[in-house]
Homo-oligomer: A and B are copies of this chain.
């Protein structure tokens, strides 16, 4: 008998790799934060022993969700201004609130609120873009969640940096600080083509190549963005990024609505990663990402919730459900984006986009033990014909009972183990008073 750190036995195991596979009465063996073995429970109990063994008789084990685009700290602005068109929402509510309120503590405490919600919803990795990324990284470090922290670059001054140079410098410093960290990585995060100059985009692109980190950008969010780009530069945003050399397998392009036929070819040729944020796009009336066509082109599509100010939650299970339903609806075809594809987009494809699929994104020997357990014993998921279908089309975030990141048990029977939930609520309440004072509806 081999002695190991931890063993999880479960009714079902859905590893995401190989595609659509489901194993019944299976176990995951964890040692030193890594998945040491995955095998039938009957075999496991003969081969391994641990002081910590979990038994989940009604649960499915899955890789944790990878929220491939969010602005975690914006959770503090959840619901501050709903049912308002995008530009009015940004210019009258969000930007004024940010100008007045955003500082290190806002981002630290907002990110803590977001992490609490994300862990409770089965997200084990998030890809963030916001001011004060040092605060977001610190929150991830302290709570144990995996994060890809965006080194934000934007061509206007903020409390974080006064100009393009300072954004890059501060970003590089943060990169250095975390480059060997076990669960925090970094990516350049130029806000959008319309807020970052050619010169800055070119510089950060060559830095990203040199450091081998991704570039995370909002791209083709709305038709207005494209019309404005045509008026200002004579080019559609995707074409401008091609000219500047940004299209590559390291690009993480978020939103991607309003795509034209030749742009599908372009994205495919360069192997660009797409992040689909269906609920934010729907809620803001921004447009539709053509997932069905992108799937036909074999592009890597991941899923993100966007920030809680425009969604208004960070619920990846809800998001992948919406994504699956919307893809079927838009293509008038119930077989588009089946359950297995939806789950893969919310897990492994996110890891690929962030360049960390050798570490996480599926349940596989040698990968980090980033695992979630979903209880399918609830009334809401009875009866269980197909556990994968039931998770994608019927289960709710509340059925996610346990979450591990690198083998650390961060959510234990719905209780957060590294976050003081009451403190996080009090912090949110305090910021509500500050922000509520700065934006009046």
Tell me, yes or no, whether A89 is within 8 Å of chain B by CB. yes
Q: How far is the CA of A381 from the CA of B82 in the complex (A)?
A: 14
Say yes or no: A284 contacts B432, CB within 8 Å: no
Say yes or no: A393 contacts B338, CB within 8 Å: no
Q: How far is the CA of A95 from the CA of B376 in the complex (A)?
A: 26
Taken together, the copies of this chain in the complex come to 2
Closest to A424 in B: B379
Tell me, yes or no, whether A76 is within 8 Å of chain B by CB. yes
Say yes or no: B383 contacts A311, CB within 8 Å: no
Given A282-B328, A396-B396, also A117-B85 (CB < 8 A)? no
CB contact between A322 and one of B288, B313, B325, B379 (< 8 Å): that residue: B325
Chain B interface: which of A23-31, A260-268, A295-303, A384-392? A384-392
Q: How far is the CA of A385 from the CA of B429 in the complex (A)?
A: 10
Q: How far is the CA of A428 from the CA of B394 in the complex (A)?
A: 15
Smallest distance from the beta carbon of A396 to chain B beta carbons, Å?
6
Say yes or no: B329 contacts A393, CB within 8 Å: no
Say yes or no: A82 contacts B389, CB within 8 Å: yes
Contacts of A390 on B, CB cut-off 8 Å? 78-79, 312
Say yes or no: A382 contacts B83, CB within 8 Å: no
Given A328-B282, A383-B431, also A79-B396 (CB < 8 A)? no
Q: Which of A279, A285, A318, A380 has the most chain B CB within a 10 Å cutoff? A: A380
Q: How far is the CA of A394 from the CA of B385 in the complex (A)?
A: 29
Tell me, yes or no, whether A196 is within 8 Å of chain B by CB. no
Contacts of A383 on B, CB cut-off 8 Å? 76, 78, 428-429, 431-432
Say yes or no: B117 contacts A379, CB within 8 Å: yes
Given A84-B335, A334-B83, A428-B382, also A329-B113 (CB < 8 A)? no
Contacts of A318 on B, CB cut-off 8 Å? 318, 396
Say yes or no: B334 contacts A78, CB within 8 Å: no
Smallest distance from the beta carbon of A377 to chain B beta carbons, Å?
8
Tell me, yes or no, whether A59 is within 8 Å of chain B by CB. no
Smallest distance from the beta carbon of A276 to chain B beta carbons, Å?
13
Residues facing B in A365-416 (CB within 8 A) are 377, 379-386, 389-390, 392-394, 396-398
Say yes or no: A315 contacts B396, CB within 8 Å: yes
Residues facing B in A116-153 (CB within 8 A) are 116-117, 120-121
Q: How far is the CA of A326 from the CA of B288 in the complex (A)?
A: 11
Q: How far is the CA of A424 from the CA of B336 in the complex (A)?
A: 33
Say yes or no: A329 contacts B389, CB within 8 Å: no
Tell me, yes or no, whether A332 is within 8 Å of chain B by CB. yes
Residues facing B in A54-86 (CB within 8 A) are 75-76, 78-80, 82-86
Say yes or no: A385 contacts B425, CB within 8 Å: no
Contacts of A75 on B, CB cut-off 8 Å? 382
Q: How far is the CA of A326 from the CA of B285 in the complex (A)?
A: 9
Tell me, yes or no, whether A271 is within 8 Å of chain B by CB. no
Q: How far is the CA of A311 from the CA of B390 in the complex (A)?
A: 11
Tell me, yes or no, whether A227 is within 8 Å of chain B by CB. no
Tell me, yes or no, whether A281 is within 8 Å of chain B by CB. yes
Say yes or no: A282 contacts B82, CB within 8 Å: no
Q: How far is the CA of A312 from the CA of B376 in the complex (A)?
A: 14
Tell me, yes or no, whether A247 is within 8 Å of chain B by CB. no
Q: How far is the CA of A332 from the CA of B392 in the complex (A)?
A: 27
Q: How far is the CA of A71 from the CA of B389 in the complex (A)?
A: 20
Contacts of A121 on B, CB cut-off 8 Å? 380
Interface pairs (5), CB distance under 8 Å: A78-B381, A78-B382, A85-B333, A379-B421, A383-B431
Residues of A participating in the B interface, judged by any CB pair closer than 8 Å? 75-76, 78-80, 82-86, 89, 113, 116-117, 120-121, 223, 279, 281-288, 308, 311-313, 315, 318, 322, 324-326, 328-329, 331-336, 338-339, 377, 379-386, 389-390, 392-394, 396-398, 421, 424-425, 428-429, 431-432, 436, 441
